[in-house]
Structure 1
Amino acid sequence: MLKPHEIERVLAVMAHPDDVDFGAAGTVAQLTDAGVEVTYCLVTDGQAGGFDHSIPRDEMATIRRREQTEAAATVGVSDLYFLGHMDGSVVADLDLRHDISVVIRTVRPQVVITQLPVRDLNSTYGSHPDHIATGEATMAAVYPDARNPFAFPGRPVAELDDWSVDEVWIPFGLEGQGVVDITEQLDRKIEALLCHRSQHRDLAAIEERVRTWWQSIAAEHGLPAGSSAEAFRVVDTR
């Protein structure tokens, strides 16, 4: 797993607003504190999220973009791309691969953070179909699309120089090759999560639950008592 001093730019590609905050906001805060430029790419606007039936879906999209932008700022991120695909309908087709490849070639990251491209039968919520499709499309964009100068002829990505990503980090990695101690960043991670007010009926309960969650990840990986951690599967894509 590359260290912050070895990285200039990171791109996080996630299906919905708040996915990056659950999976990697502590690590993002650590990276931006170290001077790494981090960019977010959100495949959907999260139109199908929330619990308030009175909010029109186009308005929910606007709310969730605003919440994600606010959450990003708490961990030092100001550059966000919203691809505008429909929440609940994401498929890993060539159009999505193209759109993600455009962002990769524009941002030119050494590291891409994205979601697990296969279903984990131990995690119903983590295996949302949009997550799986986003992970698969991102992996295909990393290789071969973004690095292939002949991919998507005649489409916008072909006008950008090709780019090779060094590593892909997948949050909640089962193997846990990349374990990041986020104890000092945990409060900012919580702050980022709480920006997604439209998604949680009980913000205090969410805070209590996630604090316990990330402490358990640290314990599983042998960190000192009281620590918090995020774990990643690290894929070498060089």
Structure 2
Amino acid sequence: MVRKEEVKVLDDAEVRRVLAVTAHPDDVDFSAAGTIATLTGRGVEVVYLVVTDGDAGGFDREVDNGGMAELRRAEQLAAAACVGVTDVRFLGYPDGRLEPSLALRRDIARVIRQVRPDRVITMSPERDYRRIGRSHPDHRVVGGATLDAVYPDARNPYAFPELLEEEGLEAWTVREVWLTSPTPDHAVDVTETLDRKLAALRAHKSQTAHRPDLEDWVRRNLAANAAEFGLPEGRYAELFQVVDTA
């Protein structure tokens, strides 16, 4: 791991569980699958929480929305297996229609309290004016709701008291959040896990089968990330903004 500037990051030896919260199936694989594979390879337990089923996505519109949701859930399960993740949870919110809400914050806080992660990986609530495709409204809603669920909701025993009173879920403090952000300050060298990331992306056939250039595109972007953070030529990196939330 390489730092662009001095950023406080948990030592991986301190990280036992990670929760990745994303809007759609495939989001985590485009942004962080190499990092996830690195973590699971070190014995870290990683859980995926996918807020929608991605039913508004895909390129084969002969598949109706109900069929698309089922297909995309199956693709995400297959992709997760490529990087060593076996616990994948879906909230089933409507794709393309997410709105900031207390219900969404509660649903994410519930899973945080269930999983009790040291680190949460999620999307940025900021708009990226350089690459508008990363600024899907669902992405920004999930990023904001997840940060609110991390602080203050999951750690505050008086927030959503039904989680404690009815479900027995004690408050939990996440120590850091990694955002897939337009202003990253931290790079993870994923050269050794790039093949597993590519396998995960190919598992999302409804999203990637139309792109014969997928591997070249991924390699170009990750090589540019590595160069930006001063890694040697031939290395590949995923980028994050680290937020200390302890």
TM-score, normalised to structure 1, is 0.96
Deviation sequence 1:63-113 (CA, Å, 0-9, x none)? 000000000000000001100000001112100000000100000000000
Of 52, 66, 80, which residue of structure 1 is paired with 2:74?
A: 66
Counterpart for residue 133 of structure 1:
141
How many Å apart are 1:155 and its aligned residue? 5.2
Matches within 5 A, 1:1-238: 1-154=9-162, 159-176=168-185, 178-238=186-246
RMSD (Å), alpha carbons: 1.3
- Cα distance in 2 between the residues matched to 1:133 and 1:172: 14
CA contact (8 A) 1:173 1:231 kept: no
Structure 1 consecutive aligned stretches of length 4 or more whose deviation exceeds 6 Å:
none
Give ranges in structure 1 of 5+ residues lacking alignment.
none
C-alpha separation between the residues in 2 aligned to 1:233 and 1:158?
33
Q: Is the 8 A contact 1:146 1:163 kept in 2?
A: yes
Q: C-alpha separation between the residues in 2 aligned to 1:8 and 1:137?
A: 23
Retained in 1: the 8 A contact 2:128–2:182?
no
- Which blocks of at least 5 consecutive residues in structure 2 are unaligned? 1-8
Are the counterparts in 2 of residues 114 and 170 from structure 1 also a CA contact under 8 Å? Answer: yes
Given residue 206 of structure 2, which amino acid in structure 1 is its aligned partner?
S
Give the length in aligned residue pairs.
237
TM-score (norm 2): 0.93
Q: Return the alpha-carbon distance in structure 2 between the equivalents of residues 199 and 81 of structure 1.
A: 20
